[in-house]
Structure 1
């Protein structure tokens, strides 16, 4: 699952691949935004932990799970 996160006052976005499902990611972010937590955490495919400030969140783009195609498509 590809995740792209925009943070306010930052010219760059955070982009990584995660083994979590779209539903799990959405629930994690929703819980953080609906509570008093000032951050939420996500983990990428390689086990790296990302701590994202809830207050600075501009957008979150969750990509679809797509299998890679091999060969020619006609």
Structure 2
């Protein structure tokens, strides 16, 4: 199941958004490890692209489950 991870970066106006197959626990462990090692936090998306941020500059992570693509303009109800 694909999950979207939004990464807030200190002193950056926009957040980074990455779709990944990793679990939230795995992403958090990776960030914790990068912080303790004073290294770069990197996350690879489901298409093989990698985003890298200095771990000490990560302000927050926001996880959302991908519920699939929505098609159409809204809910149609019959009368």
TM-score, reference length from structure 1: 0.78
Q: Following TM superposition, where does structure 1 have runs of at least 4 consecutive aligned residues deviating by more than 6 angstroms?
A: none
TM-score, reference length from structure 2: 0.73
Matched, 1:18 2:40: no
Which residue does the alignment assign to 2:58? 57
Within 2, Cα distance between the matches of 1:16 and 1:30? Answer: 18
Within 2, Cα distance between the matches of 1:28 and 1:16? Answer: 15
Q: Which runs of 5+ in 1 are unaligned?
A: none
Alignment of 1:1-74 (within 5 A): 1-33=3-35, 35-64=36-65, 66-68=66-68
Cα gap change, 1:2 to 1:69, in 2 (>3 Å): closer
Name the Cα RMSD after superposition: 2.3
Deviation, structure 1 residue 19: 1.1
Q: Which runs of 5+ in 2 are unaligned?
A: none
Secondary structure of the equivalent of 1:25? helix
